Each structure stands twice: as structure tokens, then as C-alpha cells.
Amino acid sequence: MIEVSIQADANSFEMQGTFLIRIDKFDNTVGRFDGMEIRCTSGNPVAATFYVFNDALWVRPNYKWGGVYLKATHIIHSPLTEGTYGQTTTEPTGFLAKTADYGLKCDFDNNRVFKLPFTDIGGFTYTPNGVSIGSSLRQSLVNINGIGRVNDDYVYITRDSISANTDFYSNYLSSSDVQKGTFSYGVRPTSKAWQIYEKGFNANWTNLLHIGANGNVGIGTNTPQAKLAVKGTVLAQRVKVSVAAAEWPDYVFNKNYVLPSLQEVENYISQHQHLPDMPAAAEVAKDGHDLGEMNRKLLQKVEELTLYIIDLQKRIATLEQRSN
């Protein structure tokens, strides 16, 4: 185990960093290490860069001034007294891997190198390869395994009125992506809704989906006034509207149904310019129309027309009998 302290300029605390290095070396392994691990244990993880070779490790401070301090523990042969080392200002070449802001775990026996989690100077922790929560699971960058955890929410987000409006932010920057842009989605406290916004395909932030606290859903609109509001065209293979049996206009064929006379219908049309019991054009333009209700009324008119035709047919038959 070797502890490396990078002091840099004493007046700039953000330039300091302490690193812990673990080296495994089996006596029968010739010309190389067996394993190596490099982690920043405190300070700035980019205070230094480490260059890993099969049989050597180089370190370069990334800031001026100060010094490099080494302390070796738990070793048989000290690299400080028995090893070969020197100084240079030229970056080495031919290295197997080098650190950046992350640490490294090197498996020389199997030619594998892993990037390790690190914490920046502000206390924010990064994990290059992913994180698993709940139990060991490795299928994506973020893995949440809730099996066997009774009544536990997978993700619990708490915010207040001054928090950002976005719970999740997805950014697509690859030039090969069909969707090159940004999706932003989450609960928006100002509108009491869960919303999805997009920018990229659309020039400006555009609302794609709105789910209000009242249960109203809007597609293309963030002010839905119904359980589902769509601003645009809806394409469907089938739309089914349920209607109570008593409201379906079979009652037109009931013997007690009062069928208006054609003269009454003509007078109504002359006065209102639309059929009785049907909405006017201005009303439809303002409020739209109910598909189920409109189909019901249209069927009512068809059934009324059928009765008119039957009555006309009877009159025609009577006239034909008289003429004969």
C-alpha cells in the first residue's frame, strides 16, 4: 500500500489530493504486476494523473508548486529505497491506462481495467460504470432491485416550491440519433402536473404530455379541460363509446313516440337553419361535439326518416289503389 499526497500550491486548497495505491505482485510473476488499484481518498481527484504500465507506475501532479509526498505501508520491498524512480516533465508513452477524475482497478492477469467511483472537491460522487441499489444487479447504468422489499418506493423525490421543475433530464447529442435534442420530464409544482417537454426536434421547449393532479391528460396542450384532451389529429383503428340502453334512439319506434310532422320540421329549419335537436354550427365551433351524443342524434334522425318514408310509401300505395 502506498499513500501519495499531492500538495501543489498551499494557497489553493482545491489543488491538493491524496491517493491510495494498492499493488499486488506474486513472486513467480515475471516482468509485470498482478493487480493494482488507485483511488483518491481525499481532496481533488484530478490533482494528479497516474500512468499504469505492466511493471511501473508514473505520477504527474497537474498543478504547479508544492510537492509530492509518499508513504509506503504493508510491503516487503519498499519502492522508495529499493525501486528505480526519477523525474521528467515529458508525459510517458506506451502506458496501459491512466487516471482522469476517476480511479483505476487493473487486473494484469486477465488484461482488464475498470474505472472506479470518485468524489469531486464539492462532495459530489460519480460512478463511471453504474450503480446498483437494493441488491446486486448489473443490467444498466442505474439498477434498482426491489424484490422482497415490502412497501418500499423505488424512487422517492421530495421537493419544495423553489425546486427545479424537472425530475428527469435526458439529453441526446449524437449526430447519428434521429432524435437529437433534450427531453425533460417530471412533476411541475407551478402547474400541479407531471409533464414531458422536448427541445431539439422542436426549436423551443414544447409540451408533449400533461397529466394534471385532477387526472386530466393533455397531449399537445398543458391546459386539458377533460380527462383526455388532444391538440391535433387522433388516428385510431377503433373508437368505442358506451351509451346507456335507455338513451339509444330505439324509442323512436315506440308507439307512444311523437313524430314531428314534416311541416313542423320545415318551419324549424326555416327559422334556425339546422335540424331539430341538432347543435348549430356556431355551437359546434365553440364547444365541439360529443361523438357518442352526435351518433345517437344522427341515428334518431335516420329512424325518423325511416318512419317518414314508411308513411309516404303507405300514402303512395293508397293513391295507386284509388287510381286503379
What DSSP character marks residue 90?
S
Residue 49 scores a pLDDT above 90: yes
**Last residue in a domain, options 66, 93, 123:** 123
Residue 102 scores a pLDDT above 60: yes
Do 68 and 9 share a structural domain?
A: yes
Full domain range(s) for residue 281? 245-323
For residue 142, give the nearest of 128, 122, 158 by alpha carbon. 128
Do 64 and 87 share a structural domain?
A: yes
Residue 118 is assigned to a structural domain of this protein:
yes
The number of folded domains in the chain is 3
- Rounded to the nearest angstrom, the gap between the alpha carbon of residue 26 and the centroid of all alpha carbons in its chain is 48
Residue 205 is assigned to a structural domain of this protein:
yes
The stretch 158-186 carries a mean pLDDT of 68
The stretch 83-88 carries a mean pLDDT of 68
Do 264 and 204 share a structural domain?
A: no
Q: What is the pTM of this model?
A: 0.58
- How confident is residue 275, by pLDDT bands cut at 50, 70 and 90? very high
Can you list the pairs that 93-97 forms with residues at least 24 positions away whose Cβ atoms lie under 8 Å? 94/53, 95/51, 95/52, 95/53, 95/58, 96/52, 96/53, 96/54, 97/52
**pLDDT for residue 301:** 95
The stretch 162-172 carries a mean pLDDT of 72
Residue 132 is assigned to a structural domain of this protein:
no
Can you list the pairs that 297-305 forms with residues at least 24 positions away whose Cβ atoms lie under 8 Å? 297/249, 299/248, 299/249, 300/249, 300/252, 301/275, 303/249, 303/250, 303/252, 303/253, 304/252, 304/259, 304/260
Percentage of residues of the chain with pLDDT beyond 70: 90
Residue 141 is assigned to a structural domain of this protein:
no
Do 218 and 297 share a structural domain?
A: no
Q: What is the pLDDT of residues 6-17, one digit of tens each?
A: 998 888 888 999
Residue 140 is assigned to a structural domain of this protein:
no
Do 226 and 306 share a structural domain?
A: no
Residue 81 scores a pLDDT above 60: no
Residue 136 is assigned to a structural domain of this protein:
no
Do 192 and 85 share a structural domain?
A: no
Q: What is the pLDDT of residues 55-69, one digit of tens each?
A: 899 999 999 887 888
